[in-house]
Structure 1
């Protein structure tokens, strides 16, 4: 497994205030993204959106390392 690090400063403005995040890994970025998606669209719409993405990657499918997919 390749090691990937992310350098990002994410600022979210909500009617109730704002939030700041600094994910450091793809996993943290994914969790943050899903959380924001659910808060913005609701759980059902977020689930539908995520299901569309996951359709591209069937369970058990082996992907080539990112460096070989480019």
Structure 2
């Protein structure tokens, strides 16, 4: 009789342990995915800032070429 009374409690405890392990693993996995996303966002921001710097330098070069051409005309 005592064994029958203890079995559901042991079963519930094991189920709770299994659920807690699954939750911990899923939280770790979600955290890892979030870190990967954050790294990708940082790389994207760096790349876009590099592109903007390249565009700005190209714009300066074009402006200096226009100025040189204007001086040549004058």
User: Do they superpose with TM above 0.5?
Assistant: no
- Bigger relative contact order, structure 1 or 2 (CA pairs below 8 A, ≥6 apart): 1
- Structure index of larger Rg: 2
Question: Structure 2 length as normaliser, TM-score?
Answer: 0.26
Question: Structure 1 length as normaliser, TM-score?
Answer: 0.27
